[in-house]
Structure 1
Amino acid sequence: MSDYKVNKTIEQINKKIAAGEAVVVTAEEIIDIAKKEGIVEAAKKIDVVTTGTFAPMCSSGAFINIGQSKPLVRTTKTWINNVQAYSGLAAVDCYLGATQTCEDDPLNKRHPGEFNYGGGHVIQDLVAGKQVHIRAESYGTDCYPNRKIEKLVTLEELPNAMLCNPRNAYQNYNCAINKSDKIKYTYMGTLKSDMGNANYSTSGELSPLLNDPYLKTIGVGTRIFLGGAQGYVTWTGTQHKNKVERGLNGVPVTPAGTLAVMGDLKQMSPEWLVGQSIRGYGVSLSVGFGIPIPILNEEILKYTSVCDEDIFTQVVDYGYDYPEGISKSYGQVSYAELKSGSIMIKGRKIPTVPLSSMIKARKIADILKKSIQKAKFFLGQPQHMFY
């Protein structure tokens, strides 16, 4: 016998979606519903809660088949718009990383570098339908005699392209400050000296993994919103952690879970895959990401009703501590505080700066909601759970 008063399956919810009967709300909407109706009654009524986030996700990239030549070639070095892709695969396959810089980029030789173009920008250009320049080299073999190819192509003309991100959707992340007396240029953005600002990068109560802190509904095969198309969870992401400090609500108070994900790049959109130039640091890719959470029981409903006031993270110094590998917190703050525009650190009021977009996070959650209501998006049954 189940210990829950509400018991549903993904199969049952999918049948309701197909019949146009599923009740779907966003992770922001469920908060008031749960308060008004109570956890159990809300769990009986609601079938799916949708989430969303849009922020730089450096550990992203794409497997691309650039197409064969005559005579045939097995590429060992490949460049797309002068950005090198890893070619240690086979034939004309390569992996283009979002943080790979342009070959002629001066990098940080004149600090801080601007990093105007890189792998993330190439991916955005591809999904925008722009022509890209491909050149590739080989040492030549008996079965692949060609030693060089060069061409202009669009994404549509490529035989295959898959977005394949080893680490996305971080479950919570640091709030970054700079206690040093010099400006610091980091992946968390530009940090002014003497704690002149505090940068953060999570959509809080809308963030996918904060709405399922123990990943009880998320596993291999979970269908997600990825870059404007449907994608899938393929494994835990690199740097994934599950044994972390948590609040009483189960939500981690430090960086924790991550997901590896994949989807068809040809179905994606430049609105949801945006190349980023991070001054003094490098290039990246902002990714639109969302997960529909099936309400299988009242416990899952309770997790999804978490609000910004009850989600906390640590304030970390990126001026000295972080680059030196020193693990130290200068305070614990809620996302309600961060989103208010300022936080208090040791009696000082510090302005906060979001690297993630709440406007786009809300839009993703709403797109997912409407797609499920119209039976255009069904829940994926996980084939392997991570906990």
Structure 2
Amino acid sequence: MAHTKVNKTIAEINERIRSGKAVVLNAEEMTEAVRTMGKEKAAKEVDVVTTGTFSPMCSSGLLFNIGQKEPPTIKTSKVTLNGVPAYAGLAAVDGYLGATEPREDDPLNKVYPGQFKYGGGNVIEDLVAGRTVSLRAEAYGTDCYPRKSYEKEITLADLPHAELFNPRNCYQNYNAAVNLTSRIVYTYMGPLKPNMRNVNFATAGCLSPLFNDPLFKTIGLGTRIFLGGGIGYVIGAGTQHVPNPKRNERGIPLSPAGTLELKGDLKQMEARYLRGLSFIGYGNTMSVGVGIPIPVLNEEIAWYTGVADSDIEMPVKDYGHDYPNGLPRVLQHCTYEELKSGEVEIMGKKVETVPMTSYPISLEIADKLKEWIQKGEFLLSEPVEKIPAW
């Protein structure tokens, strides 16, 4: 009997979601399904695979508007939120707060220069958690915007517009970081002990969104996603997007490759999935929760969503000697399965592994998105523009 190829559409899958008939698996479950039943049967039986990641994503921030509620009106030239500077050169009362921007008078910095305890990511978490934030604005004054200063204690509800706008999230593979020098090195990958006594890595493995759609067959401009506990959208390729990396036989890049630019309404989100962080010796950042649904349109997509931790090869690089010079060598590759085990062999030495990504919360995100889809509360969207993969 001839084999009939599977060829679904997103519209057909959405109709199954509306009728409560859609079969939805998280990416971990799909890996097992493809392993046991093969890509052909998995493609027939599964409609959607949900992914998730919860990891530090420095290139994130808040696009906001403070409103013109109290006359006289103001055209802000400097804005701070809880003492953290925001960029005010957008329009009269628009601003952008970067997750890595530190507080101007950070008490930790006064004791340890270059160390910062509180920054933009913490402000975003505070706003989402419903906490009060101190807003201060300065202006030079014009005829139509005469006011020169403004101060107020605000909450998220006081901002007419608050949008999480992230230029670069969801890295498709990334470096595993070691330090070959004889001193400790402080990095955005966390502290690295001397003489390669730890290796730090950041990804959610088989749950990671861009490992499940490595060639961007379903993810593009307009893709509806889970972002920070609410609904967000992919708005294109992120900054530092590398469209043509060297890949293994499963399409998984062997180096840092694709990235996504994301947006979403901050007022829908939860502080559990947006956490302000401070890395000793590096500074501020924020962990962001992202979950992307992958529609299983055909056997090819089923094959990609069947990716296992053992298929993901991560490049190990020296952040001591090499990385500061901008030309880090790949010492070797380690699979995510090896890194996840807690210990890996690098250059003949057993090294303790340290995850920067929370796998349990990544799985929680994938399961939450799965639940939304099963309840008919979340429909898939058709990308209106492709993201380059080659």
TM-score range, shorter chain: over 0.9
The equivalent residue for 2:60 is: 60
SS at match of 1:253: coil
1:11 is matched with: 11
Look up the match of 2:189.
188
Q: Secondary structure at 1:252's aligned position in 2? A: coil
Unpaired runs of 5+ residues, structure 2, are none
Comparing 318-327 with 350-359, greater Cα deviation is found at: 318-327
| Contact 1:74-1:90 within 8 A present in 2 as well | yes
Q: Does residue 299 of structure 1 match 2:300?
A: yes
CA contact (8 A) 1:111 1:280 kept: no
TM-score, normalised to structure 2's length? 0.97
User: What are the Cα deviations for residues 276-308 of structure 1, in whole angstroms up to 9, with x where unaligned?
Assistant: 011000100100001000001000000000101
Structure-2 residue corresponding to 1:85: 86
Q: Distance in 2 between matches of 1:353 and 1:295?
A: 33
Letter in 2 for 1:64: F
1:223 & 1:107 partners in 2: Cα distance? 39
Work out whether residues 202 and 356 of structure 2, in 8 Å CA contact, stay in contact via their aligned partners in 1.
yes
Whether the 8 Å CA contact 2:100–2:286 is kept in 1: the answer is yes
Q: Is the 8 A contact 1:112 1:279 kept in 2?
A: no
CA displacement 1:188-213 (0-9 Å, x = unmatched): 00000000100000011100001000
Query: 1:379 maps to what in 2?
Result: 380
Q: 1:310 and 1:112 mapped to 2: Cα distance?
A: 42
Residue in structure 2 matched with residue 71 of structure 1 by the alignment: 72
Q: Residues 319 and 328 of structure 2 are in contact (CA less than 8 Å); yes or no, is this contact kept in structure 1? A: no
Q: Measure, in 2, the Cα distance between the counterparts of 1:101 and 1:21.
A: 48
Give distance in 2, aligned partners of 1:385 and 1:108. 44
CA distance in 2, matches of 1:237, 1:168: 7
User: Who is 1:351 aligned against?
Assistant: 352
SS at match of 1:320: coil
Q: C-alpha distance in 1, partners of 2:195/2:37?
A: 47
CA distance in 1, matches of 2:111, 2:158: 38
Report the Cα distance in structure 2 between the residues aligned to 1:103 and 1:224, rounded to whole angstroms.
34
Q: Residue 80 of structure 2 aligns to which amino acid in structure 1?
A: W
Quick one: percent identity of the two aligned structures?
56
Q: Distance in 1 between matches of 2:315 and 2:42?
A: 32
* Structure 1 residue aligned with 2:222: 221
For residues 196 and 130 of structure 2, the distance between their equivalents in structure 1, rounded to whole angstroms, comes to: 42
> How far did 1:327 drift?
3.0
Distance 1:107 1:85 in 2: 20
Q: Secondary structure at the match of 2:164?
A: strand
Secondary structure of the corresponding residue to residue 330 of structure 2: coil
One-letter amino acid of the counterpart of residue 24, structure 2: V
Residue 105 of structure 1 and its aligned partner are, at CA, apart by: 2.7
| 2:48 corresponds to 1:48 | yes
- Distance in 1 separating the partners of 2:229 and 2:281: 29
Give the residue type in structure 1 aligned to 2:216.
L
Could you tell me which amino acid in structure 2 is paired with residue 279 of structure 1? I
On the 8 A contact 2:318/2:328 being kept in 1, the answer is: no
- Displacement, 1:104? 1.2
Secondary structure of residue in 1 paired with 2:240: coil
1:323-362 CA distances to partner (integer Å, 9 max, x unpaired)? Answer: 1112311111000000010111121100000000000000
Question: Where does the alignment leave 5 or more consecutive residues of structure 1 unmatched?
Answer: none
Distance 2:201 2:109 in 1: 24
Q: Distance in 2 between matches of 1:228 and 1:330?
A: 37
User: Do the aligned partners of residues 286 and 134 (structure 1) sit closer, same or farther apart at CA in structure 2, a change above 3 Å counting?
Assistant: same
How many Å apart are 1:107 and its aligned residue? 7.3
How many residues align? The count is 385
Q: 2: distance between equivalents of 1:307 and 1:4?
A: 26
1:73-98 deviations in Å (ceiling 9; x for gaps): 01010000000000001111100000
Q: Which moved more, 1:125-134 or 1:61-70?
A: 61-70
Aligned to 2:287: 286
Q: Which residue of 2 aligns with 1:201?
A: 202
- In the alignment, the residues of structure 1 paired with residue 74 and residue 276 of structure 2 have an alpha-carbon distance, to the nearest angstrom, of 30
